Amino acid sequence: WPQFVFMSRAISNDTLATALGALLLALLLRVGQPRRYVWLGLLACLAILTKITMVFVIGVLLLGFLTESAFLYRARRRDYLWSGVGMGGLLLVLGGLLLWQPTLHEHLRLSELSFTTLRPESLTLTYWWHVFTWTLSSGWARYGWMNLPAPQWQAVLWWGIIAAASLFGWRLAWGASAHVPARRWQVAMAMLWLLGLAAVYARINVNRFQPQFRLILASLPALCALAAVGMTQAVRRWSGWQVALPAFLTLTLFLANGWLIWRVIVPAYR
């Protein structure tokens, strides 16, 4: 994945927040283990302290906790209650740090501007079309300071494949979980994760034009899982697909990275 290779070359809060988000989502989906909510609270605090745009995880955790304890495992409500107290305590500590620790509070105050002001252009369809196309581009390969893009057709093709595979994977996962409440809960939480992140991203761009895929890198765990389900189920009737599909994707992306280096990056820095 060219853009991910490009971004993971350096240490940044974007990659750290993505890693914490991946751990958090993976742990959240281990349904039926009430004690994990304490660890989820800790991971949520670390993720939000790393990048304030991860604040959506609080809503995901609270909704997940309430639905899991109230509908899936009502007989274990006592265990969930104590775990909920632990998670709530950690989130209160986080709130206290953001409110009363001077450096963190100033960062929070400045970040609030991204959620409380309105850019007039954001009321037009043209603006959001530019946000959409630049997001696709920066999610495939857009180097430098967003000023060195790969051909747009590559981004459209890549994300078209990912979107189709993800929708197909979601449809299969949702249908297969019809009679397994815990599985359906897992699929719903993954979708809620994506919706929460999309809402934060949209709110940022309402404030300022910032269509940078790095802001939604935390979508990758859920998005890639759904796409993997869709792709594997689409080719499972072919013999040898377990080897052929990963080999094809690896070779294609390897060649794409090489092409981008020699045809986009090298000419720009000669």
More confident residue, 100 or 113: 100
Own/partner contacts of 255-261, CB < 8 Å, gap of 24 or more, are 256/2, 256/154, 257/2, 257/5, 260/2, 260/141, 260/150
Task: Find where tokens 């197909």 sit.
Answer: 168
Instruction: Compute the distance between CA of residue 23 and CA of residue 261 in angstroms, rounded to an integer.
Output: 31
Domain count of the chain?
Answer: 1
* Pair 143, 153: CB distance under 8 Å: no
pLDDT at position 145: 80
pLDDT digits (tens, 9 = 90+) for 60-94: 999 999 999 999 888 898 999 999 999 999 999 99
Q: Which domain holds residue 104?
A: 2-268
241 versus 183: the higher-pLDDT residue is 183
Q: Is the pLDDT of residue 10 over 70?
A: no
CB-based contact 7:259 (threshold 8 Å): no
For the chain, the helix, strand and coil percentages under 3-state DSSP, each to the nearest 5: 80, 0, 15
Find all residues with CB under 8 Å of 154, minimum gap 6, and list them: 140, 141, 256
Region 243-265 average pLDDT = 91
In our burial notation (b when 16+ CB lie closer than 10 A, e otherwise), range 73-103 reads beeeeeebeebbebbeebbeebeebbeeeee
Residue 190 — pLDDT band, cuts 50, 70, 90? very high
**177 backbone dihedrals φ, ψ, rounded to 5°:** -95, 10
Span of 7-11, 67-71, 106-110 with lowest mean pLDDT = 7-11
Q: What are phi and psi of 209, to 5 degrees?
A: -75, 100
Where is pLDDT greater, at 12 or 46?
46
pLDDT of residue 121: 93
- Region 249-268 average pLDDT: 92
Residue at 122: amino acid letter:
S
Asked whether residue 1 carries a pLDDT value surpassing 80, the answer given is: no
pLDDT in tens, 124-160: 999 999 999 999 999 999 887 888 899 999 999 999 9
Assign 13 a pLDDT band (cuts: 50, 70, 90): confident
Distance CA 39, CA 129 (A): 39
* Burial (CB count within 10 angstroms: exposed 0-12, middle 13-18, buried 19+), residue 10: exposed
Q: Is the pLDDT of residue 114 over 90?
A: no
- Predicted structure pTM score: 0.91
